[in-house]
Structure 1
Amino acid sequence: MAEYRQTEEGFRRLIAFSDAVVAIALTLLVLPLAEIPGEIRDSTSIGAVLRDHQPALVSFAVSFVVIWVLWRNHHRMMENFRAYDRTLFELHFLWLLTIVVLPFATALMDNIHIERANAVYIGVLAVSVLSLVAMTEWGARHPALLDDNADTGVWIAQRTGLASCVLLAVALAIAIAFPKVGVWPLVLLFFSGPLEQLLRRLRRAR
């Protein structure tokens, strides 16, 4: 098998392609909302429209913020990389797959007749976060892929994500066991900060 080439141009293309996929996914989120005005036949107020379509609007807002946060974390992570290898390339494939699927998972949640759609949504989110954590850990174990500066050293020492994966696994279990809770189990992510601090202290103690 021919050696897998990694060039600076290839690295730039990987980042540009990732940004483009995220932008498209964000655009797809709003398409169902764009159809709402065309479905209205009787005279009504904007307040009534917003009230009648509140679930779809909330799903859009939540998913927009989720994808934005995922991209922001990816952006901050990749600021510490200067090159890539085959594993990092394939991990990007997994992460981008979750980004593309999120609008579909959001549409599933908008349909009240689909059971455990929230579990699908949380599951996709969990895989997305896990892939970002995997990229981070891969970079930490392969310094040749990273920028050689103090900021990158601080990033490696303070890298996070494991707590979010644990809490998402718990949220997914709750969503499967109690499908009517919606996406409320995601509230657990508010505890990711304190849990990360605890895990960081345990890591230092070892």
Structure 2
Amino acid sequence: MIADQRVLVVDDHPVVRRGLRAMLEGEPWVATVTEAATVAEAVREAAVHPVHVVAMDVVLPDGDGIDAAGRILRAAPGTRMLILTMDDDESVVERALRAGAHGFLLKDTDPEVVVDSLRTVAAGGVVLGPRTAGALLTGLRTAPARIPAPFDRLSEREREVVVRLTAGDSNAQIARRLGLSEKTVRNQLSAIFAKLGVTDRVRVALLARDAGLRA
């Protein structure tokens, strides 16, 4: 179980920062919570007081939160990053994930879900809200006339798993939809990641997008 995590909340609205901070300070896995209201403050805070996980807004008074996320991740690759914003535009989602973010949620998400998502990201997981997953990728064909690389390395069943993964399904949902056990889904995901040379489901979705796979 994760513990003693240092969390940085970056948002230009004091109410948002303080509300999220108040909730996080009651979490047993959180050691400290610090705040930043600008890109400059966020980058400086992360450099002076290294943090484990960051909740990062996109629109900040002195610049772009995704750029700030990229700067922090380049300086400290082990930092975990959750983008929290009002904008679910497809290009914003994709840019955030390509910058190295480990999750993307909208600000209208229930605060308890945001805290739970930060815990998931801190523990090494990846979080995409259902609307975010839809914005990132509308779907995949399981059997296109010509399967582009690197998806031609996958079996038909593995491509079916990828279809559900990129739609935002959890392992349990994939298992139910495809009539598999969750253990089988986990094993197939491990095989898929290895064949595609990626480490998580977000990178699979980005590869699928680059390959031009569409429903």
Calculate the TM-score normalised by the size of structure 2.
Answer: 0.29
More helix by proportion, 1 or 2? 1
Calculate the TM-score normalised by the size of structure 1.
Answer: 0.30
Larger C-alpha radius of gyration, 1 or 2? Answer: 1
- Give the structure, 1 or 2, with the largest relative contact order (CA under 8 Å, sep 6 or more): 1
